[in-house]
Structure 1
Amino acid sequence: MNVLMWNERGANKPNFQIFIRYMLKKFKTNILALFEAHVGGDRAGRICQGLGFDNSFRVDAVGQSGGLWLLWRFGVGPVKVVEANNQFIYSTVGEGTDIMHLVVVYTDPTVSRRSGLWDKLREMLHGILEPVVVGGDFNTILRLDERTGGNGRVSLDSLAFGEWVNASSLTDMGFKGSKFTWRRGCVESTYVAKRLDRVFCNAHARLKWQDALVLHLPFLASDYAPLFLQLSLEVEVDPRRRPFRFKTALLQQESFKEMLMNS
């Protein structure tokens, strides 16, 4: 299963669908999470249908603010949205022993509007025994080395973010690619970049998908880089190369050793 997460900053941009289709063609995606879509209502519904996914759930934008979308294909199994608001969508994907709890997060950039969010997420995830994956745009950092430019301090909100990660027993899944997922400014004096987007999981998910990989994709139409989560890596097999097989029963044949020596 592959999940693409992207803060595109506006689904009503002229090139929005072009860039999304390019990403979906290049990276096989089962679930797509979009943040700050900045559009709602019928227009949001038409855009979701045009992206080629079988189902979608939206927390529509209010005016030109917000907008959180989750789109998925039939192949992932049943998807149930458990709870949602303007900062997260909590869903279960699959069923039975193959169930996964997926939370896509877009935290408000204004710290005061995040009040109670970390406590809410901690309570929501408490006691879940199945695999949990939490990812998205958290609009804050954990450590000083996750930013460049600007002031060199860790905010109180960053400390609260770190406390939530620890209290929820989550593990950062790491990444490959650019160190930062958000950037602003074109010259050195104004340039700021941070790692605001990331993916966490619990111990059950890490044990189930030990080879899972998070890629920081290139910046395209947004000042945010898309995140691509591969839970199970696909191994390409050349159909022209047949695997070697040996039947151990041949060792019991008296003539086998002689035939092997002659060969």
Structure 2
Amino acid sequence: MAALTPLTLATINVASIKSDAARFTAFDFLGRFDADILFLQETRLTDQSALKKARQEWTHGPSYWSLAAEPYSGVAILFKIAEVTCRRIIELEMGRCLILDVLMKGQELRLINIYGPQTKWDRKRLFIRIKPFLFCSRQVVFGGDFNTITRPRDRGGSKDRLAYDSVTLNSVASEARLVDVHIRTDPGHSGFTYFRGSQSRSRIDRFYLKEEAIFSPLSVVEVEFSDHCLICFSLNVAETPRMGRGMWKLNSSLLEEATVRQSFEEFLQSQIPMQVQMCIS
């Protein structure tokens, strides 16, 4: 039987680390927090000089960043383990979705960090763009601030029906055979993660994993520097069954057919812009 190799993952909307003071406060807390991988949203880092400072100041391991394409976006994935091999980086949507394929502790992981856009339509569109990346033989960790709920009870005082972006997210997760860590381990608890004033509260921060994954219950941790809570859990990657037949191989004879060749060329061209240079601290 494989040795147990648990990893602890956390996600937090940091509500801006653009200023030196805000970045120090967040990094000080996250540096002391017991987690191996950290997903950040709403970094608000909009230029390379700010990114360079953030990379230099995160001294606990590699870090990967997607700059904010708009003032209130920006995402990052930080590691507190030095031995991380990054296989691939995909900036699926600048400042909104960053995907990493990494090798850690002998296990292949696909990490997908999302910061849901502000409008329902843009959220639905992004969920659909992410969907193909959820089907792979690696262990998928899909998390972040989705900016939407998946059950009416996930918004305090709300009894409304789900909006179309929430319906799309539920459908995407179901088709990819992903489970919401909170719902799987504590379905009867509200688990609110976002608070604004005394009335507004919701559960918009979450993690999804494959149905077969072995993981701990989710913890919700209040922080001083954000109106979002940090959520975290432990994943036993060694005990998670691998799915799929492994690496896909192209039957090159199929390219002799014009329509197949054109479709394949279009697919490759769509993938090239998403490949970005590694940003490792």
Query: Are 1:34 and 2:43 counterparts?
Result: no
Alignment partner for residue 60 of structure 2, among 53, 62, 65? Answer: 53
| Partner Cα distance (2:88, 2:54) in 1 | 20
Secondary structure of the residue aligned to 2:218 is strand
1:136 deviates by: 0.8
Alignment partner for residue 228 of structure 1, among 224, 232, 236? Answer: 232
Aligned letter for 2:120?
A: V
Aligned letter for 2:232?
A: F
TM-score (norm 1): 0.75
1:63 deviates by: 5.1
Query: Are 1:10 and 2:16 counterparts?
Result: yes
For 1:168-225, what per-residue CA distance to the aligned partner results, in whole angstroms no more than 9, with x for missing partners?
Answer: 1101112679710111223xxxx11110011111134x1xxx2434211114211111
Residue 99 (structure 1) aligns with:
108
1:58 deviates by: 1.3
- Number of residue pairs matched? 223
Query: How does 1:59-78 map onto structure 2 within 5 Å?
Result: 59-62=66-69, 64-78=71-85
| Partner Cα distance (1:48, 1:152) in 2 | 42
- The question of whether the paired residues in 1 share the 8 Å contact of 2:11 and 2:230 is answered with yes
- The question of whether the paired residues in 2 share the 8 Å contact of 1:172 and 1:201 is answered with yes
Aligned letter for 2:115?
A: Y
Residue 174 (structure 2) aligns with:
166
Secondary structure of the residue aligned to 2:153 is helix
What is the aligned-residue identity percentage?
Answer: 21
Alignment partner for residue 150 of structure 2, among 142, 161, 174? Answer: 142
| Partner Cα distance (1:178, 1:62) in 2 | 33
Alignment partner for residue 133 of structure 1, among 130, 141, 155? Answer: 141
Residue 97 (structure 2) aligns with:
88
| Partner Cα distance (1:165, 1:133) in 2 | 12
Residue 261 (structure 2) aligns with:
none
Alignment partner for residue 121 of structure 1, among 122, 130, 151? Answer: 130
| Partner Cα distance (2:193, 2:83) in 1 | 27
Question: Cα gap change, 1:96/1:220 in structure 2, threshold over 3 Å: closer, same or farther?
Answer: closer
Question: Cα gap change, 1:196/1:28 in structure 2, threshold over 3 Å: closer, same or farther?
Answer: same
The farther-off stretch of 130-139 and 193-202 is: 130-139
Question: Cα gap change, 1:82/1:232 in structure 2, threshold over 3 Å: closer, same or farther?
Answer: same
5+ unaligned residues in a row in structure 1: which ranges? 234-263
| Partner Cα distance (2:8, 2:176) in 1 | 24
1:54 deviates by: 2.9
1:92 deviates by: 1.5
Residue 117 (structure 2) aligns with:
108
Runs (4+) of structure 1 exceeding 4 A deviation are: 175-178
Aligned letter for 2:235?
A: L
- The question of whether the paired residues in 2 share the 8 Å contact of 1:54 and 1:73 is answered with yes
The farther-off stretch of 213-222 and 191-200 is: 213-222
Query: Which structure's relative contact order is higher, taking Cα pairs within 8 Å and 6+ residues apart?
Result: 2
| Partner Cα distance (2:61, 2:26) in 1 | 19
| Partner Cα distance (2:50, 2:89) in 1 | 25
